[in-house]
Amino acid sequence: MEARQHNRPVDEKELPPIPAKRYFTIGEVSELCDVKPHVLRYWEQEFTQLKPLKRRGNRRYYQHHEVLLVRRIRELLYSQCFTISGARNRLEEELLQAAADMPEKKPLSIHQIREELTAILNILGGSTPVAPTRKAKAATAAPLPAASSIPTTPELFPASEEGAIED
């Protein structure tokens, strides 16, 4: 059986490293992934996982994980000869497998959070704080000032002759 001939680029050259940036334009992603911009726009329609931010004038801004996704799509289509639907299915399988491999995290209780924070505080060299009770908080709360000691509006904003506000 003969190997299939492809009209697609199967260039195995090394892709450049992804710089430490928050957002990438479509032109930058095109260069980083060796894929033309019109192909990236087409892939956005075909792969639901690929959703770059769109800002003013519908300009696309890709994040780091999306650049990695574009590289994975490129690998599936060009190197492993998947069809678009085959690549889409493989990505969904990989996503489901990654989710299944993730350990289920249970939320921490307030007691566990307090213990962790106390341990961090001890590591930093501080003393363990004692949380005041509600009664202690009420007893130490500052009393409200008397109404006569609160300044009135004219005292807060002395009027000048130029910008005086008249009643």
Q: What is the pLDDT of residues 78-128, one digit of tens each?
A: 999 999 999 999 999 998 888 888 877 778 789 888 998 898 888 888 665
Residue 40 within a domain: yes
Sign of CA dihedral 105, 106, 107, 113: negative
Residue 143 within a domain: no
Residue 4 within a domain: no
Tokens of 31: 């260069």
Tokens of 85: 């639907």
Residue 52 within a domain: yes
Residue 60 within a domain: yes
One-letter amino acid for residue 105 of the chain = K
Of 97, 43, 101, nearest to 75 (Cα)? 43
Residue 32 has pLDDT above 60, yes or no: yes
Pairing of strands 53-55, 59-62: antiparallel
Give pLDDT, residue 129: 59
pLDDT level of residue 142 (50, 70, 90 thresholds):
low
Residue 18 within a domain: no
How many domains does the structure of the chain reveal?
A: 1
pLDDT level of residue 130 (50, 70, 90 thresholds):
low
For residue 69, count other CB atoms closer than 10 A to its CB. 19
Residue 40: give the domain boundaries: 24-101
CA dihedral of residues 116, 118, 120, 122 (deg, nearest 10): -150
Residue 122 within a domain: no
Residue 55 within a domain: yes
We report the CATH number of the domain holding residue 42 as 1.10.1660.10
